[in-house]
Amino acid sequence: MAAVIAAAGLLQPDATAADPAASGPASGAAAARAGAPAPDAAAVAYPLDCKGLPVAVTATAQGDLDGDGRPETVAAVRCDAGSGTPPHTLYVLAQDKAPGARPRIVATLLEAGRRQTATDLTVRDGIVTARLLGYSSPQVPRYSPDVKQLAKWRWTGGKFRQELTNAEAGSV
């Protein structure tokens, strides 16, 4: 299935090169490699323990996060429980330059153990942004998250740094 999706992607026009909102910091190297495809989130084996359930990629965003001129993909991944609200893990994927190489996970931005759901995932100007929904205690119903934060991650000094702000009430 992943091979079919990857083959179909090769036949499609490159939308990310024409979409400035989807790309990261501009540079001469980025312009020279604008045709480089972003890693395919469906081609990665994610290290989630889903206790036999399938893994679901619920959202992706692409852009050059580290300024090397090649796009990375940020994938929001969770166990596909069929009901409820399983927590997300956010992974950053990179594509190796070798022909036929599969994308690989290079960073984890959000761990499933934090028990948060990520929405509104974007990459713009080298910054990953997501709204995080969570719960202040086990007594809060799982259908009604009461902790809402806006999270941003930026590649600085060889690693991703996170910035959190409280989202306004009713903004999610």
Q: What is the pLDDT of residues 67-82, one digit of tens each?
A: 999 999 999 999 998 7
Beta bridge partner(s), residue 155: 160
Residue 124 lies in a domain: yes
Residue 34: the pLDDT is 56
Residue 172 lies in a domain: no
Specify the higher pLDDT residue, 59 or 34. Answer: 59
In this predicted structure, the answer to whether residue 21 has a pLDDT above a threshold of 60 is: no
Cα separation, 167 vs 104, in Å, equals 32
Residue 6 lies in a domain: yes
Q: Are 66 and 99 in contact (CB under 8 A)?
A: no
* Domain range enclosing 132: 2-166
Residue 14 lies in a domain: yes
Burial class (CB in 10 A: 0-12, 13-18, 19+), 32: exposed
Tens digits of residue pLDDT in 104-113:
999 999 999 9
Residue 80 lies in a domain: yes
Tens digits of residue pLDDT in 132-142:
999 999 999 88
Residue 171 lies in a domain: no
Cα separation, 169 vs 147, in Å, equals 9
Residue 82 lies in a domain: yes
Q: How many CB atoms lie within 10 A of CB 19?
A: 11
Q: Are 105 and 128 in contact (CB under 8 A)?
A: no
Residue 96: the pLDDT is 87
Q: How confident is the model at residue 62 (pLDDT cuts 50, 70, 90)?
A: very high
Residue 29 lies in a domain: yes
The tally of domains found in the chain comes to 1
Per DSSP, the residues of 62-121 read EE-SSSSSS-EEEEEEEE--SSS-PPPEEEEEEE-SSTTPPEEEEEEEE-GGG--EEEEE
DSSP 8-state class, residue 19: -
pTM of the model: 0.76
